Amino acid sequence: MDKQRIAVDVAVLGAGIIGSCCAYNLARSGLKVALIDPARPTAGSSGACDGFLSVSTKAPGITMDLAVASRALYPDLVAALGGEVEFERQDSMLVVEDEADLSKIAAHVDTVRATGSDIAMIERRAICTHEPTLNPDMAGAALTRGDFKVSPYRMTFALARAALAQGAIALWNDKPVAFDIAGGSVRSVETDRAIVTAEQFVFAAGVWSEALGAMVGLTIPVVPRRGELVVTDRLAAPPRHVLVSAKYLTAKADPDAAKTSPDPLVRLGHGFVLETTATGQCVIGSTRTFSGFDRSSSAEGVGAIVSEAVRRVPSLARAQVLRSFAGLRPFVPDKKPIIGRSGRLSNVLVATGHEGDGITLAPITGALIAALVRGQSASLDITALTPDRFATAA
């Protein structure tokens, strides 16, 4: 059977939150877009994660700058999507378990505050006044006012649907099998069902980006970093804040510690985080391990998540655990996302490698990619995120 022939301005490969947000921004600006995915929009990380939209959990520098810009875009984007995505303001608390970490976290809080965030350390004795569910044994905490949360699953589908409403063509459950490359640019992508010719291509395949890049000779070194989460039934009195521990920041920033530490929690990349969903259930995490593409949750990981959560929020001891699941964070060895135009294939742009930050960073990533596709300058200096940094290193 002959394959369907489709001609568009831009083909977006990958319909997770990043690809869907790129497709939405591109279609909204009047371009003809195809959104291609071998599965469906929430098949990857965007359907197996939390939806905490924060600045304080981001690495200082370009990632934090992206988070500030992205969080500012969220309210208008959600309003434009029109659907219910469980976008809500929820203040967050960064809890410090050990005295030894206090000065490091206080310095981090100063850095976050300098970006314009409303964050401050709070006195030890005031912690439980702000958050009565917390164990009073904490060494300290920082309170952020004005963080948000969203249902990542609903947000991803809302973006994909909004792209289609703007005229984008969905090629879902349709796997790219070959590319036609000539004269330093890609002419078309062949999928199981179609041959899609496009002026420009956006690669947004999350943890599958390395394999996708290899199909056209690009090095896109994204590695899956598994994260496990536990979901409880709804609580009568859930925490008022999204809770994140100082150790979460360390586990995220220092993947090498997991290789050498004698501490089993550090080896699991454990860092406590708790978010309450719109239904009052708690999503509690998380671990960080390099386990290939294995998306199962382990007894070891789930056990650590539950016992460490109860240590910080004692009332969770009576909570009913409903299920556990795992997602794969798209990790890049230099710990920065990859966003920009390839210098090697001039009509390919890459948008991936957001690790544990992709739900937060989707709006700014979509806006940046749309600007670059249209030949406009980026609203932030994203030179450090260029896909060419790996090709150069090689």
Ligand X SMILES: Cc1cc2nc3c(=O)[nH]c(=O)nc-3n(C[C@H](O)[C@H](O)[C@H](O)COP(=O)(O)OP(=O)(O)OC[C@H]3O[C@@H](n4cnc5c(N)ncnc54)[C@H](O)[C@@H]3O)c2cc1C
Which residues bind to ligand X, rule: CB under 6 A? 13-19, 36-39, 43-46, 48-52, 176, 204-208, 212, 227, 229, 285-286, 327-330, 352, 354-360
Q: Name which of 51 and 102 has its Cβ closer to ligand X.
A: 51
Q: Name which of 125 and 164 has its Cβ closer to ligand X.
A: 164
Distance CA 271, CA 8 (A): 44
Q: Name which of 131 and 174 has its Cβ closer to ligand X.
A: 174
Closest approach of ligand X to the CB of residue 15, in Å: 5
Residue 71 CA from chain centroid, whole number: 13
Q: Name which of 101 and 275 has its Cβ closer to ligand X.
A: 275
DSSP character string of 143-159:
EEES-EE--HHHHHHHH
Distance CA 163, CA 22 (A): 9
Distance CA 94, CA 119 (A): 10
With left for phi above 0 and alpha for psi between -120 and 50, is residue 281 left, alpha or beta?
A: beta
Closest approach of ligand X to the CB of residue 45, in Å: 4
Q: Name which of 239 and 358 has its Cβ closer to ligand X.
A: 358
Closest approach of ligand X to the CB of residue 136, in Å: 26
Say how many C-beta atoms besides its own lie within 10 A of residue 125's C-beta. Answer: 8
Distance CA 58, CA 66 (A): 9
Closest approach of ligand X to the CB of residue 273, in Å: 7
Say how many C-beta atoms besides its own lie within 10 A of residue 236's C-beta. Answer: 8
Closest approach of ligand X to the CB of residue 184, in Å: 21
Q: Name which of 176 and 239 has its Cβ closer to ligand X.
A: 176
Please name which of 194, 189, 155 lies closest in space to residue 173, comparing C-alpha atoms.
Answer: 194
**25: enclosing H helix or E strand:** helix 17-28
Q: Name which of 170 and 359 has its Cβ closer to ligand X.
A: 359
Q: Is 115 exposed, middle or buried (0-12, 13-18, 19+ CB in 10 A)?
A: middle
